[in-house]
Amino acid sequence: MDSKLYGAGNVAKTTILLAGIGGLLVGIGFLLGGMGGAVIGLLFGVGISGFSYWKSDSLAIRASGAVPVSEQEAPNLHWAVGEIARRAGIPKPRVYFIDSPQPNAFATGRNPHKAVVAVTRGILKLMPPEELRGVLAHEMGHIKNRDILIQSVAAVLATAIMFLGNMLRFAAFFGGSRDDNRGGNPIAAIALAILAPIAAMLIQMAISRSREFLADATGAGLAGDPKPLAMALQRLSNATKQLPMQGHPATENLFIVNPFSGRGLGNLFATHPPVEERVRRLLAMKKAA
């Protein structure tokens, strides 16, 4: 499997999905207030996307309870992060520690110059060095591909659509939609107000899964071998089921594997692709190399 072609396909898919979620936001704005409402919806989307751009790292760190770890405290971890960052051609991210027995890791930050890589106590204890390197390479892939920004924007836009959907339902029930004076159907407006947030959530989850596949491919290239990352994903998947993490569900999509295993509502609403499929693709890259 050609990792460059594979990555290009995921980028195109993400672009289409983000356009879809933005279109839903503008469409609901149009139903609420015509062209003026559509413009307001667009500006609203840009504004909250900007907020998520500036605050994504601090919000994720606070929600996960991560704290900085110095080079003196974890010299090997800092060395590995710095080496993989060099391979990726990006500045070395800040390194954080999460005091959790569950093995896991995540990256955050609005751009490579403001990035953070956070690892749990559990992953440092459980993971062999080569597999940990694969995990760190995956997280560096997220930073290199600017996935944190993309996923943060998608999450905030989805939340905005849910908020506007509630407004549209309220307007349809109590004030009528803007189409009432033209013989429009308020039931259709209510149906859209209900379905649009669901569609936005599905698109958000699809974006998250797409970026995980892309980070796997990028990380495999940075590590120089897809197999350690594949083995790490299997190990992490088994461990997270036995050691569920205590934390905020809003951080779920940031981690390399779902830290709250068992809470999902099915593949369509999953923030991560099935580990089995991720492993299969990585091993296919190994065979094709």
> Can you state the angle between helices 186-223 and 129-144, rounded to 10 degrees?
130
217 touches 6 (CB < 8 A): yes
> Can you state the angle between helices 186-223 and 275-288, rounded to 10 degrees?
40
> What's the CA gap between 172 and 223, in Å, rounded?
54
Closest CA to 41 of 167, 164, 150: 164
> What's the CA gap between 114 and 60, in Å, rounded?
13
> What's the CA gap between 275 and 212, in Å, rounded?
10
> What's the CA gap between 202 and 20, in Å, rounded?
11
> What's the CA gap between 25 and 42, in Å, rounded?
7
Q: b/e map of 28-54 (b: 16 or more CB within 10 Å)?
A: bbbbbeeeebbebbeebbeebbeebbe
Known catalytic membership, residue 139: yes
**Residue of 83, 130, 131, 139 marked active site:** 139
User: What Å distances lie between residue 98 and 91, 95, 244, CA to CA?
Assistant: 22, 10, 14
Which residues, 6 or more positions from 4, have their beta carbon under 8 angstroms from its beta carbon? none
The residues assigned a catalytic role are 139
